[in-house]
Amino acid sequence: MQITLNNRLEELEGDRLTVSELLKVRNFTFKMLIIKINGKVIEKSDYDSAEIKEGDDVQVIHLISGG
Amino acid sequence: MTNDQIKKLLSTKTVGIAGCGGLGSNCAVALARVGIGKLVISDFDSVSESNLNRQYFFRDQIGQKKTVALQETIQRIRPETRVVLHAVKLDPSNIPAIFGSCDVLVEAFDLADQKEMLIETMLKVFPDKPLVVGLGMAGWGKSDLIHYRKSDNLYICGDEVSEISDELPPLAPRVGMVANMQANVVVEILLTMARG
């Protein structure tokens, strides 16, 4: 399936992925993240159930210390 | 818009700044210089010597509350900018009241968990209010990695990878780049809003 990940078109295996699976596949290892699917913030407790489908707009924001 | 129209418009705007460290102090000064009417600044900390490598404070301000020191500096630059101080630790219970009246909010915290708390709170309480965050500015060089991206009302400035550590300290040039980039995004949001 094709999704938009952080404003870039990306091709992923399969036609559905949970947020947890996406994080694993893409090696997102940061502990503190904010994830939005089509503009909606996904609660951490829903990472195992929230699904990403063809055409979704996914934003993964790493929270990094410094300022 | 002419320069006079731009100045007139910005003088009617209120910008919130959550944190007065490296990002917040530099961003606030840039926003005061362009003539923002009101700045709502918040920080519970005091100025220390180690802050002077990147934060917009002076040696003779060591020991002062950061909010008070920053207000003093802004008044010296542009007394017409009204500065509202909140020397408190921000949390989900006080953020809505402190920043509710702001046209745009700048996230200028140091620690990742605080950034997360602010972003989550704002997305929940004020999903339509523009929030300009600074993510990733430790170290030096790598100027080409610093970028800007937008996700709905969340505006992200920084390289999104460089986390502070003992080998990668936050330093004035790169922190200043991101702080000024945040100020630049704020001005763009306010002027774009005006155009409708």
pLDDT given for residue B17 in this prediction: 98
pTM above threshold 0.90:
yes
- Res B131 pLDDT > 90: yes
List the domain range (segments joined by +) for residue B122.
3-195
What would the mean pLDDT of B92-121 be, rounded to a whole number? 97
pLDDT given for residue B196 in this prediction: 63
Please give the tally of structural domains in chain B. 1
Alpha helices in chain A (DSSP H): 19-25
- Residue from the list A6, A61, A65 with its beta carbon closest to the beta carbon of B111: A65
pLDDT given for residue A31 in this prediction: 78
* B156: contact with A, CB 8 A cutoff: yes
| A-B contacts at Cβ under 8 angstroms | 74
Task: Calculate the average pLDDT of chain A.
Answer: 92
Q: What is the CATH number of the domain that holds B46?
A: 3.40.50.720
CB B145 within 8 A of CB B181: no
- Strand (E) positions, B28-169? 38-42, 82-86, 104-107, 131-134, 147-151, 154-158
| Candidates 3.10.20.30, 3.20.20.80, 1.10.357.10, 3.30.420.40; CATH matching A2-62 | 3.10.20.30
- Res A26 pLDDT > 80: yes
- ipTM at complex level: 0.88
How many CA atoms within 13 Å lie on the side-chain side of B134? 38
Question: Could you report the per-residue pLDDT of B69-80, keeping only the tens digit for each?
Answer: 999 999 999 999
CB A32 within 8 A of CB A61: no
pLDDT given for residue B69 in this prediction: 98
Question: Could you report the per-residue pLDDT of B2-61, keeping only the tens digit for each?
Answer: 999 999 999 999 999 999 999 999 999 999 999 999 999 999 999 999 999 999 999 999
Domain range list for chain A = 2-62
Chain A residues with CB-CB distance to B under 8 A?
Answer: 6-7, 32, 34, 36, 39, 41, 59, 61-67
pLDDT given for residue B130 in this prediction: 98
